[in-house]
Structure 1
Amino acid sequence: MKLLKFGGTSLANAEKFLCVADIIEKNIKNAKIAVVLSAPAKITNYLVETIETIIQHHQKLEDINLSENIFFELVQNIKKMQPNFCNKSINELIKKEFDKLRKMMHGIILLKQCPDNIRAILISRGEILSVFIMKNILEARKHQVTVINPVKNLISIGHYLDSTVNIPKSKKLISQINLNNTDVILMAGFIAGNEKKELVVLGRNGSDYSAAILAACLNASCCEIWTDVDGVFTCDPREVSNSYLLESLSYEEAMELSYFGAKVLHPRTIEPISQFKIPCIIKNTNNLNSLGTLICEKNNLTKNFLKGVTHLDNIAMFVISGLAMKNMLNINARIFTAISQKNINIIIITQSSSENTINFCILENCIDQVKSALTEEFRLELKENILNPIHIISKLSILSIVGSNIFLKPNIASKIFYTLGSANINVIAIAQGSSKHSISLVLNKKNILNAVKIIHDTMFSNKKIITVFLIGIGGVGKTLIKQIFEQKHFLYKKNIDIKICLIANSKKMIMSKNGINLSIWENDFKKSKEEFNLDKLISLTKKHHFLNPAIVDCTSDQLLSEQYITFFKNGFHIITSNKKANTNTFQYYQKIQKTVSKTNKKFFYETNVGAGLPIISTLKNLLNTGDSITCCKGILSGSLSFIFGKLEKGVTFSQSIKEAQELGFTEPNPLDDLSGIDVARKILIIAREMGYHKELKDIEITPLLPEHFYKYKDKNKFLSKIQELDLYFLEQTKKAKKLGKVLRFVGKIDNKGKCQVKIEKISIHDPLYKVKNGENVLAFYTKYYHPLPLVLKGYGAGNNVTASGIFSNLLHTLS
């Protein structure tokens, strides 16, 4: 015997009904079949809403026509597709049933309330009509059908709207039914009968529960729950895109997942199949090829002991505290008794080791009832200040990680806390040990989706994800995109996935929550009409809770650099080639550093100083390991390195500038390089990293050009005038050469913190002597590196090396 249960989404329309009939027919060939049906999708909700509308607004009965017409339309469409379908008798039954409902609802209008026994009858009509329709479809296909009346044969106890079936009694009654081996057995879900043979309903997920009960009563070999998803996933696929289908679960694992919010099966459904060791398969009527998820006694199909991450929202935590609590030996019993008398479930409970505090969690909609019950129970203790006033924390969620014998895995809790700590998510309470199959954490509800994503990623995927928001698509920005695209497959093999979800310039942007297609991004960008807006960027990340989000700033924009603190506070790392933030006021520089420390975000700005050279990281490593910097000096402009290198070879000053510009070494206007301000900014950043409280005005710049040249803001005018200096620089180069030296534009910080930027004549023994062709060099003279300095040397200009430096910093966000 195999039992099949079909939910409302599987019976949503005529096509779906006939698809279910096909599935039933296919299974008939191999085994005896029993089928449990829900109401068609939305019908039960419509009936509930109609009742509430009538009670609250005393409206007329027109609302019920909507439900009735759905059934008439459903039958009419089935008639068109199913030969020999007897729609006349069904239409008569539908009319008869809804006439009864109208009479009942007329009574509700008069009473201005709906008794629970009447409500149960009203809201269960959909299941009864589903069975009658399916019976006629199967009979039209020449099958014999036996309908089990759940009111007569499923004996339950409890409330009219939330009853529990007595399996032994029900099994005895069903065994007395003469069931033909060739008949298809049909039964309406959601419905049972009490000892008085009155109709009752089985509460939330009652149809699944009915299926498990009937499977137990018929000694079924298997119970298949057909729904609109492929089975059970490691996480809700709508929330976590890289969640995947589980092949199997044990009963205990399924119970934990469902208890803590996963839409698998209700715990009440799992109890009967677990008790009678009935395998249960979750399958999809929309994807008949999916194997589904098997829920069984022993989970041997998969080696991964972890099964899922789920969450339960709208939680409130009660805090009962007081110094005298340790002398109240029966306090736990009194709390549980007071709450159980209200039929309210405690989800998790924790207690301090000193026994001065007890915390427990309930659903938020029960706050008033629980508060009232506890206030009454501990009225005297609260009055005498033996207990502190009851404290309630609302807007919480419970995140649960479920797995087989998870309590035996020593590193799980540490990974969870490290992951959440890295994302600045605070854990309010933890429950571990009460169940050997789960660890549960209480978090603020506002953090839950982000927490679920990063915990799932940590526990279930070896992939390390970086979500990039790129601002600035000049030479460096475009090169960075190209490098990431070309390196994607190599990194993927190393389990690193870089997703660029935003590309923007100062005017417009393109966005994609799943990552932009980098092979066609330029075409998409040209077509985009989306204006660049920082608020949209922040709201996008809040909505989708991206993993490891990083803003990459490839601009030189002052206003954007002033938003860094806002970015950090909204959960972003920042990688920047933009020097404006670190060369702003020292007060702002300090504020950024404090924010980075407070938010636990990464701030990488290696390319501020040395393009692809690891100058900042080297400096920090020296200081962190106890070394002290005596002084440092370097050539920190790739363009000026190139220009002065060309002067040695006899190239004129103006021609060397043009060549540097053609190679992309200079800014759009070479005057920006020749002013020395760029080198001054780099020296300022190094000085601040060394601990000096400096402002940009404290950097002494000896002008490279006569003062009147700096008035030429138009680059063409500037380039035409610069020829006037060719003879001057030729003479200066010759004078240096006679001394065995070369000209270099040098930035320097001495042992007292004095910062200078100027042309110097460099001797052959100096590490700056052989620097040319766009190279950068920085020499650190330190306590450890003396008299020979630590020298960093390499190309310091060009899109490739700068983009490479940013790329390297991006990868370091994973550390």
Structure 2
Amino acid sequence: MKVLKFGGSSVAQPDRIRGIVNILKGYYASGDHFTVVFSAFGGVTDSLIEMSALAARGDDRYGQLFQEFADRHQSAINDLLTDDRLRDETAGQMRRSHEVLKNLLYGIFLVREASPRTMDYVLSFGERSSSYIITQCMQQAGIPAEYLDARRILKTDKTFGNAKVAFDKSYDKIREHYREHPQVQVVTGFIASAKGGLTTTLGRGGSDYTASLLAAGLDASAIEIWTDVSGVLTADPRRVKKAFTIPRMTYAEAMEMSHFGAKVIYPPTLMPALQKRIPLYIKNTFEPDFPGTKVSEESDKNGVAVRGISSINDVALCTVSGTGMFGVPGIAGRIFGSLAVAGINVILITQGSSEHAISFAVQPTAADRAKEAVEDAFAFEIERGVVNRVKVEKDLSVVAIIGENMRYQPGISGRLFRALGKNGINAVAIAQGSSELNVSVVISREDETKALNALHEAFFLSDYKTLHLFIIGVGLIGGTLLKQIEQQNAYLRERRGMEVKVVGLANTKKMLFDAEGIDLASWKKRLVASELTTDLPVFVGRMRSLNLSNSIFVDNTADDKIASFYESILDDSISISTPNKIATSSGYLQYQRLKNIADKRGVQFRYETNVGAGLPVISTLRDLIDSGDRINKIEGVLSGSLSYIFNNFDGSRPFAEIVREAKDKGFTEPDPRIDLSGKDVARKILILGRETGIPLDPEHVSVEGFLPEGAMEAKSVDGFFSVLEENGDYFAELQQRAAADGKALRMIATLEGEEATVGVQAVGNDNPFYTLSGSDNMIVFTSDRYRVRPLVVRGPGAGAEVTAAGVFAEIIQIGSSLS
């Protein structure tokens, strides 16, 4: 004998009921002996509660809800039953039953009260109606089905709303009834009866409980719980999109998962099955061929350590502390005894070895009562000052990793806390039982979803991680970066176990968010169509509120306003990658503060592209210093735009023409004065100086200008070019003077000791900068190890492709550091 149970979502619509009947026809055709339990149609129980509440308030709108209830069941009859006799018989039975409900509701309306006893009776009409209709539908399909009102066989006490089952009496009645009724019994879930025939209900998950009780009474071979998900999942799929089905688990693991919020199985359901060692299967009504999850006593010690990750969404943490607790026996007994007397359920308990404090989690609605109960119990000690008043913290959640095999594998807790720490999630309290069946962590409620995803990735997708990018600036560099990510994502997934999701985008006008990831083939259209106007505080706030694991902020601008948000972004445990030099080249104290916050929060602050675009300049310098080398001198052509200009300034064309060409090719800023002033180069040598450990500020860098008078003061870019054209002879003379000595002009930045300078120099063919071409950058490191032959880094120093590639490389490096 098998016991099958179908939940409310499975029977919510006639089409779904037809699908169930087809499943049951397969069981019947194969010769399986089975009985089946049904819940009320999806949403009906809530409707019955609402109409009762309205009636109890004297609100006659309950009548409208009742009529919708009656019409829905009649509509199902008309849709499902094509046999005239069965349809008329069923409709007549429903009319009589619903007339009783109508009168009952009118009685509630008159007396303005819906007692727990009355409510149990009202709620019974949901399961009684659905089960009777489906019984008739099964008969029409050729299955010899018989309707069974569970009140005839399940006996309870009179604890209305959550009645306690009289097991022996119920099991006797179950066996007696099934001996006398060989037909396929269709049983109402959720309901039972007390002495005198009073209707009772079995509480949350009551229909599952009905199925388990039937199975225990009949010594069934299996229980099948048919629902709308494909078994027990590794985590809540609404929170963790990559959650997947757990093929099998033990009763203890299932019990823990249900306690910590998993809605597929409820603890009372498991108890009768556990006592009789009856395996329980969780299956999907909409994917009947999927094997689902098997719950049994079988344990595989060589299996995975963590079976699932679950959470309790909203808890309050109460802490009792004080010097008067140390070494005093009976403290815990007094605390939890007072809570028991107050009828307060404790979700989690944790105590440090110092015995100075005991913390326990309760439902937030019970927190104030818990505080009062414990303080009453310790009134004498509190008055003497040896025990403190109870501290209550709210807006918390409990996240738990669950699995019987955790006890056999060391390092599980370490992985848990490492995953939380990498994502900036603070543990308020920790609890782990000696059985090591679960490790529970109390965290801020706002971090719950982030924690679930981080832990799921750590334990189930350890070779696969998702990076969530928030990108500001989608012009040349940002647009190219998005294209590179789109082209490379498949490779990263396959070869690096890494998926890059862009979840936030912004330009100067619009911003766009999608926690599931923005399609990079259509991001431009979506951004243009977005109704969100760009607002930096709102963008940063939204990034914070989404609170996604492995978040990275990418700033592809040169905007000082955006850089002003770096501190708060890093402080929210979000890594940063940026070619924006503002933050790293402004005040030294602020630069150092950003580095310190990143270190404190365990996140990355990356800015390789601040110097040399995609060239490994900063990383090379760090490697030298970290390995013990001492830097004596740094020289560099650090601007791709200036490199292009001076490499092409050979006297064959006017200087102004070359500058305009560089601007048209996108090598310079829209206003070339930013490049030609030397300020951008000064920022770069400043950054390199800071990386060597020298506390340089902008005023410490000496910049020797070479532009003629009036160039920097021009009112517009066109005016600036006019000044350049008017001073053609001046630039030609500079070039000719250098050429006469066999030299070429280069804008070179130098750091020697603690002195940093920037200026145009004429270099001969014995100088490494002489051979530069195109827009190449070159950085020369002279150090103790590289004294005779300096270390040279050379390559393209400008252009969207190489700069975007440098940012992309940093994103991947940040992702790798999160493992």
Normalised by the length of structure 1, the TM-score is: 0.92
Q: Does 1:4 align with 2:14?
A: no
Contact 1:155-1:192 at 8 Å conserved across structures: yes
Give the deviation of 1:327 after TM superposition. 4.2
Deviation at 1:507, TM superposition (A): 1.6
Q: 1:139 to 1:324 in 2, by over 3 A?
A: same
Q: Distance in 1 between matches of 2:535 and 2:499?
A: 26
CA distance in 2 between counterparts of 1:434 and 1:193 reads 40
- Residue 577 of structure 1, CA deviation: 1.1
Segment drifting more, 95-104 vs 156-165? 95-104
Q: Secondary structure of the residue that 2:533 maps to in structure 1? A: coil
2:493 maps to: 492
User: Could you tell me how far apart the structure 1 residues matched to 2:12 and 2:417 are?
Assistant: 44
The more displaced of 323-332 and 622-631 is 622-631
The reply on whether 1:74 has 2:76 as its aligned counterpart is no
Map 1:12-161; keep pairs closer than 5 Å: 12-30=12-30, 31-55=32-56, 57-60=57-60, 62-84=61-83, 86-105=86-105, 108=108, 112-157=112-157, 159-161=159-161
Match of 2:773 in 1: 772
Confirm or deny: 8 A CA contact 1:254 1:265 kept in the other structure. yes
Contact kept in structure 1, 2:637 and 2:746, CA below 8 Å: yes
SS in 2 for 1:589: helix
For residues 650 and 178 of structure 1, do their structure 2 counterparts lie closer, same or farther at Cα, with a shift above 3 Å needed? closer
Q: Secondary structure, in 3 states, of the residue corresponding to 2:241?
A: coil
Amino acid in structure 1 at the alignment position of 2:805: S
Q: State the Cα distance separating 1:467 from its structure 2 match.
A: 1.6
Q: In the superposition, relative to structure 1, how do residues 657 and 73 fare at CA in structure 2: closer, same or farther (>3 Å)?
A: closer
Deviation at 1:253, TM superposition (A): 1.6
Question: 2:578 matched to which residue of 1?
Answer: 576
Per the alignment, residue 411 of structure 1 pairs with 411
Offset, 1:107: 5.0
Q: Over residues 541-568 of structure 1, what are the superposed CA-to-partner deviations in whole Å (9 max), with x where a residue is unaligned?
A: 3454323222222222222222222333
Any conservation in 1 of the 2:323–2:386 contact (CA below 8 Å)? yes
Asked whether 1:450 is paired with 2:450, we answer yes
Contact 1:32 1:181 in 2 (8 A): no
The 5-angstrom pairing of residues 289-308 of structure 1 reads 289-298=289-298, 303-308=303-308
Mean CA deviation greater in 789-798 or 708-717: 708-717
| 1:331-377 superposed Cα distances (whole Å, 9 cap, x missing partner) | 22333333334443322212221222222222222224433433343
Q: 1:427-576, aligned counterparts within 5 Å? A: 427-461=427-461, 462-493=463-494, 494-525=496-527, 527-528=529-530, 530-576=532-578
Query: How far apart, in 1, do the equivalents of 2:659 and 2:680 lie?
Result: 16
- The 1:527–1:133 alpha-carbon spacing in structure 2 relative to 1, beyond 3 Å, is closer
Residue 225 of structure 1 corresponds to: 225
How far, CA to CA, are the matches of 2:336 and 2:46 in structure 1? 33
1:421 Cα deviation after fit: 1.1
- Name structure 2 gaps, 5 residues minimum: none
How far the C-alpha of 1:63 sits from its partner, in A, is: 0.5
Q: Map 1:57-456 onto structure 2 (within 5 A).
A: 57-60=57-60, 62-84=61-83, 86-105=86-105, 108=108, 112-157=112-157, 159-177=159-177, 179=179, 183-298=183-298, 303-456=303-456
Q: Which whole-Å deviations, capped at 9, do the CAs of 1:553-597 have from their partners, x for residues lacking one?
A: 222222222222233344432211122222334454344334333
Please give the secondary structure, in 2, of the residue aligned with 1:405: helix
Match in the other structure for 1:668: 670
Secondary structure of the 1:45 match is: helix
Distance in 2 between the 1:80 and 1:771 partners?
82
- Identify the range of structure 1 (475-484 vs 102-111) with the bigger mean alpha-carbon deviation: 102-111
Contact 2:35 2:184 in 1 (8 A): yes
Q: Indicate the percent of aligned positions where both proteins have the same amino acid.
A: 33
Q: In the comparison of the two structures, how many residue pairs are matched?
A: 812
Partner AA of 1:685 in structure 2: I
Q: Does the aligned pair in 2 maintain the 1:165–1:213 contact within 8 Å?
A: no
Q: 1:177 is paired with a residue of what secondary structure? A: helix
- The alignment partner of 2:419 has SS state of helix
What CA distance in whole angstroms lies between the structure 2 residues aligned with 1:465 and 1:177? 55
Farther off after superposition, 226-235 or 84-93? 84-93
> Mean alpha-carbon deviation: is it higher for 408-417 or for 84-93?
84-93
The residue type paired with residue 116 of structure 1 is: P
Q: Is the CA contact 2:469–2:553 (under 8 Å) kept in the aligned structure 1? A: yes
* Higher mean displacement: 805-814 or 787-796: 787-796
Q: Distance in 1 between matches of 2:67 and 2:341?
A: 40
Q: Deviation of residue 249 (structure 1)?
A: 2.1
Contact 2:305/2:409 (<8 A) preserved: no
Q: Which residue of 2 aligns with 1:679?
A: 681
Q: Distance in 2 between matches of 1:432 and 1:178?
A: 45
Q: Secondary structure at the match of 1:430?
A: strand
Which shifted more, 517-526 or 451-460? 517-526
**Counterparts of 1:542 and 1:698, CA distance in 2:** 37
Partner Cα distance (1:156, 1:665) in 2: 82
Note if contact 2:227-2:282 (Cα within 8 Å) is conserved in structure 1.
Answer: yes
Which whole-Å CA distance do the structure 2 matches of 1:439 and 1:467 have between them? 27
Question: Unaligned 5+ residue runs, structure 1?
Answer: none
**Equivalent residue of 1:813, what SS?**
helix
Inter-CA distance 158–618: structure 2 relative to 1 (3 Å threshold): farther
Could you give the per-residue CA deviations for residues 760-802 of structure 1, whole angstroms, max 9, x where no partner exists?
Answer: 2334444434333222122233455435433322221222221
The whole-number CA distance in structure 2 between the counterparts of 1:444 and 1:511 is 24
Post-superposition CA distance 1:505-557 (Å, at most 9, x none): 21224443222222343444455554323345335434543232222222222
Equivalent residue, structure 1, for 2:709 = 707
Distance change (3 Å), C-alpha of 1:352 and 1:528: closer
Residue in structure 2 matched with residue 812 of structure 1 by the alignment: 813
Letter in 1 for 2:633: C
Q: Match for 1:483: what amino acid?
A: Q
What is the one-letter code of the residue matched to 1:470? Answer: I
Q: 1:385 to 1:637 in 2, by over 3 A?
A: closer
Q: Which amino acid aligns with 1:758?
A: G
Q: Is the 8 A contact 2:77 2:90 kept in 1?
A: no
Aligned residues of 2:51 and 2:65 also touching (Cα < 8 A) = no
Aligned-partner residue type, residue 760 of structure 1: Q
Relative distance call for 1:486 and 1:109 in structure 2 (3 A) is closer
Query: SS in structure 2 opposite 1:231?
Result: coil
Deviations 1:24-54 (A, max 9, x none): 2222222122111111222222222333334
User: Deviations 1:282-329 (Å, cap 9, x if unpaired)?
Assistant: 222233343322222225699534221111022122212222324432
- Cα offsets for 1:589-613 (capped at 9, x unmatched): 3443343334433211111111112
Q: Deviations 1:88-116 (Å, cap 9, x if unpaired)? A: 44444444444444554555456554443
Verify the 8 A CA contact 1:485 1:519 in the aligned structure 2.
yes
CA deviation after TM superposition for structure 1 residue 236, in Å: 1.4
Distance in 1 separating the partners of 2:118 and 2:36: 26
Distance in 2 (CA, whole Å) between partners of 1:133 and 1:302 is 47
Deviations 1:451-478 (A, max 9, x none): 1111111211121222222222232222
Distance 2:476 2:414 in 1: 43
